Chains A and B, each alone.
Chain A
Amino acid sequence: MAESVKGTVTSLSSLFPVEEAQKAAKRVEEIISERQKQLDQLRDFADDNNTLIRLVQRLPDELHHDIMVPFGKAAFFPGRLIHTNEFLVLLGEGHYAERTAKQTVGILNRRGKALEVQVESVKALMQDLKAEASFFDATASEAAEGLVEIREDYVEETSPKEASMIGIVEPELPISSQAEDVSHVKDEEYDRIFSRLAELEKEEEEAEHANQEEIGSDDSDVSPGHVILEEEMKSLELEERGKSSRIQSTEKFPDHWHVEGSKATSKENCLPENLAYGKFNLTENAPMEPQAEEDVKAPVIAETKAEAHPSEPQFDSSKAFTGSIVEHNSDVNSKVQSVSRSSKPVSRFKMQRK
């Protein structure tokens, strides 16, 4: 597998040529018709057996029967059937036994049961063959339609994380996207999101107990912060819409951000280093309102404008593109610990300056 390409795409028709699939389907159909013939034959046998049983049961009712005896192929002559309770029964393989009517009926019944078993087995076989035939037909038609098979390696270590992350991140993703400027190149966006996801996961793993309170406070903080931001946005949007330049906001924001980040870490420096980012993100919403309201106004507006809409699609896309999540994740994960923290602010800068 090439490393640059995570998945392979093969058209179904190259794997199973249409004619081949049709040929296979035809062959299976032939086998099915053969089996059908066999089944019909067995059913005929069973019917014959049943009529024979009825006849044998009826014969001893009379002492003798007047019948037309076949003579050669074309001729009959009248005769009388006597000894109506004596039968010479073919047991198979040239063995005959003299039996009474009752005993004969017993033998015939047993034979009928054997036939039934055979019928059932043939039926089961036919069902299997029919399933096979339908599969071949489906394959043939799919190949004819130009269906494509996409194969992608399953990345063991990232996928479970990702699964759990989706749950965790859902409430937070809007925040992170709010804190960041959004309108940008998809790949970088993904990189950021997923490095963030990975970090969140790391935080959880490494400092589950220490972090629990913070997460709680974070969750509680999230919504008020959110609300306030929105309120601010509403009220301030009008007055500052024209005034607050984008440049101003972008210049202010990262600085302010970093200050807060460092403050947060200094406040809670008991936590491991890689928690710092998480802290800084967690606190970033809470202090924003009391501490830096004036400062924040401008960036908030600038950003919320940019974001109110993109934040949703972005979120959705991350959901819908689970396939590509895997791709990016594998890239990102390798970087996460060393690169992402340092590279991320830079990328934000870059983007914001654009």
Chain B
Amino acid sequence: MASSTGLRELQRDLENKANDLSKLQKDISKNHQIRKKYTIQLGENELVLKELDLLNEDANVYKLIGPVLVKQDMAEANANVKKRIEYISAELKRLDSTVQDLEDKQNSKKETIMKLQQKIQSLQAGKGKA
């Protein structure tokens, strides 16, 4: 009797853990998507920076803000793009660390789930024998 209640508890535990794991996996995939987006933006910004470097100092540069084009200084635009790149790189780094963290968590969760499964199996086997 005690073993069967223990088994039930273990199974509930396992279910919870499995839910946690799936949540973690969802987070990870979300993070990956965001990361992808940022990488693309980073590439685009680098392209912009390259083009801006190729422009003359007196070239007219505009920035699209909402529906209007706002005239910008070359220097200003350059600084803006650089800042943006910095921000994106920092963001990417942050995302990397969080993804790493999540993956660690995921692995530990997987291990605990494996252990739980083994426990349940051994319990069931014991019950089957008895």
Q: Real complex partners, A and B? A: yes
Residues of A within 8 A of B (CB): 88, 91-99, 106-107, 110-111, 114
CB neighbours (8 Å) of B77 from chain A are 95
B59 touches A97 (CB 8 A): yes
Q: Using known A-B contacts A98-B59, A98-B60, determine if residue A93 contacts B51 with beta carbons closer than 8 Å.
A: no
Q: Closest approach, in angstroms, between the C-beta of A125 and any C-beta of chain B?
A: 14
User: Which of B47, B61, B64, B65 lies in contact with A114, CB distance below 8 A?
Assistant: B47
B63 touches A95 (CB 8 A): yes
Q: Closest approach, in angstroms, between the C-beta of B57 and any C-beta of chain A?
A: 12
Q: Closest approach, in angstroms, between the C-beta of A46 and any C-beta of chain B?
A: 15
Chain B, interface size category, equals 20 to 34
CB neighbours (8 Å) of A110 from chain B are 50-51
**A-B pairs with beta carbons under 8 Å apart, 25 shown:** A88-B62, A91-B52, A92-B44, A92-B48, A93-B41, A93-B44, A93-B45, A93-B48, A93-B81, A93-B84, A94-B63, A94-B64, A95-B48, A95-B52, A95-B62, A95-B77, A96-B62, A96-B63, A96-B64, A97-B52, A97-B60, A97-B62, A98-B59, A98-B61, A99-B59
Which B residue sits closest to A88, measured CB to CB?
A: B62
Q: Using known A-B contacts A96-B64, A96-B69, determine if residue A91 contacts B48 with beta carbons closer than 8 Å.
A: yes
B114 within 8 A of A: no
Most chain-B Cβ atoms within 10 A of its Cβ — which of A94, A106, A107, A111?
A94
In Å, the complex CA distance between A17 and B41 comes to: 42
What 0/1 readout, one digit per residue, does chain B (77-89) give for beta carbons within 8 Å of chain A? 1000100100000
Q: Closest approach, in angstroms, between the C-beta of A118 and any C-beta of chain B?
A: 9
User: Which of A92, A97, A111 lies in contact with B61, CB distance below 8 A?
Assistant: A97
In Å, the complex CA distance between A97 and B50 comes to: 13
B61 touches A96 (CB 8 A): yes
In Å, the complex CA distance between A92 and B50 comes to: 11
In Å, the complex CA distance between A227 and B66 comes to: 104
Q: Closest approach, in angstroms, between the C-beta of A225 and any C-beta of chain B?
A: 70
In Å, the complex CA distance between A87 and B48 comes to: 16
Which of chain B's residues 67-105 have a Cβ closer than 8 Å to chain A? Answer: 69, 72, 77, 81, 84
CB neighbours (8 Å) of A91 from chain B are 47-48, 51-52
CB neighbours (8 Å) of A106 from chain B are 54
In Å, the complex CA distance between A93 and B72 comes to: 14
Q: Closest approach, in angstroms, between the C-beta of B91 and any C-beta of chain A?
A: 15
CB neighbours (8 Å) of A88 from chain B are 62, 69
In Å, the complex CA distance between A94 and B62 comes to: 8
In Å, the complex CA distance between A107 and B62 comes to: 16
Further contacts, 12 of them, CB under 8 A, given A92-B48, A94-B64:
A88-B69, A92-B44, A93-B81, A95-B48, A95-B52, A95-B61, A96-B64, A97-B55, A97-B60, A98-B60, A99-B59, A106-B54
